[in-house]
Amino acid sequence: MKPINKIGYTLAAVLFLACLAASAGCVGTDASENGPAAPTSPEATVSPGVTTAQPSPGGLIGEEEARSLAAAALGREIPGVRIERMVAEPYDVQTYGDVWRFRVKAVDDPDPEGDIMVWIDAVDGEMVHFQDGRDYFRSDDPAITIDAAEEIANAYLRERTERSDVVKTDAALSMVDTPLGSRNGPYHFVYRRSIDGVLCLYDGFILAIDSVKGRVVSFSKFWKVSNNDTMADPDPSIPEDAVQERVLAYLNDTYGKDPGEFAIRSTELRWYDLNARQRPSKEPVAVPLAWHITFDDERHRSQDPPRAAEIWMNAHSGEVLSANYNPGW
């Protein structure tokens, strides 16, 4: 059987969940600062670096300090872990922001490249992502329920003293198909940040709970909207029924499709915080309030599984901020 690229598969799943708050390959149920880094555990020690350290970005934490913080973070997240090797990925601010990314091989990990990832924010030294990919997918059936896994996830957030202004939006059991059949992964939980009673598109947390042993095997934090950013009025100028009419008119004008061909599936207000996530500096940005509209047509409904398209529309100006629709021409 071809080995599963656990790091690549699950990281892609995390990014997909972050953007869509859903996982096409999952089954499950939908659901309506840290303090200073602790000293490195004696068990979480790092062997000498195998590559020359990358230069420190201007005014930010350098690789060697980030490496020490990463080892300390893994000592807390995976008690007793013995690190054989920790390799820094190329510093890629355009793709990942100001983040140091390390791939880690534990002593007991048969994968020569290592199945553990840990990311350190180069601005404040906070761990913003870790993933223990060892035994991530297996044939064992879940030994704990999704409700029990959610209790573990909630307790983890409380222990980290993360902010309470988040709302769980999705919960699912991840799965992957292999030549030997389906393999179960962990439960994934998505928590979205709430500002003035409106959820963010990106800001929030994603946790993965091992479905057999019940331990946290992945944590990702997205928290880019700051107090310096300008937030729009949380009460929309365009009401829900009017925005649905605007979307149908947009589809007609843009694609020449008759409004009767479409069915609106959901309409929800969100903060469209994409600009806060992508900004290259700490300069303030304006975060718009947006309607998120999902819809489908006969072609989307006929696919297996059925698919949905989406449009994000400014809830005050009516500007289409983004559209994800393939008319199938």
Q: First vs last Cα of the chain: how many Å apart?
A: 38
Q: Dihedral sign, CA of 19, 101, 177, 186?
A: negative
Q: Coil, helix or strand for 274?
A: helix
Residue 13 sits at φ, ψ, to 5 deg, of: -65, -40
Q: Which of the residue ranges 14-18, 115-119, 242-246, 271-275 would you say has the lowest mean pLDDT? A: 14-18
The better pLDDT of the pair 281, 21 is held by 281
Q: Which of the residue ranges 11-15, 30-34, 310-314 would you say has the lowest mean pLDDT? A: 30-34
What pLDDT is attached to residue 164?
78
For the chain, the average pLDDT equals 84
Residues 144, 263: one domain?
Answer: no
What is the domain range of residue 155? 6-222
Residue 182 sits at φ, ψ, to 5 deg, of: -75, 145
Judge if pTM exceeds 0.85: no
Residues 218, 280: one domain?
Answer: no
| pLDDT higher than 80, residue 12 | no
Counted domains in the chain: 2
Q: Which residue has the tokens 């791939």?
A: 103
Question: Binning pLDDT at 50, 70 and 90, where does residue 80 land?
Answer: very high
What pLDDT is attached to residue 66?
96
| 329 in any annotated domain | no
| 20 in any annotated domain | yes
What pLDDT is attached to residue 94?
81
* CB distance 10 to 23 below 8 Å: no
Q: Coil, helix or strand for 183?
A: strand
Question: What DSSP designation does 125 have?
Answer: -
- How far is residue 109's CA from residue 133's CA, in Å, rounded to a whole number? 10
Give pLDDT tens digits for 192-247: 999 999 999 999 999 999 999 999 999 999 999 998 999 999 999 999 999 999 99
Which one of 190, 222, 254 terminates a domain?
A: 222
Give pLDDT tens digits for 89-135: 999 888 888 899 999 999 999 899 999 999 999 989 999 999 999 98
Q: Dihedral sign, CA of 7, 10, 13, 19?
A: negative
| 1 in any annotated domain | no
Helices (H), the chain: 6-20, 63-77, 93-96, 146-159, 240-255, 274-278, 298-302
Give percent above pLDDT 70 in the chain: 83
| 248 in any annotated domain | yes
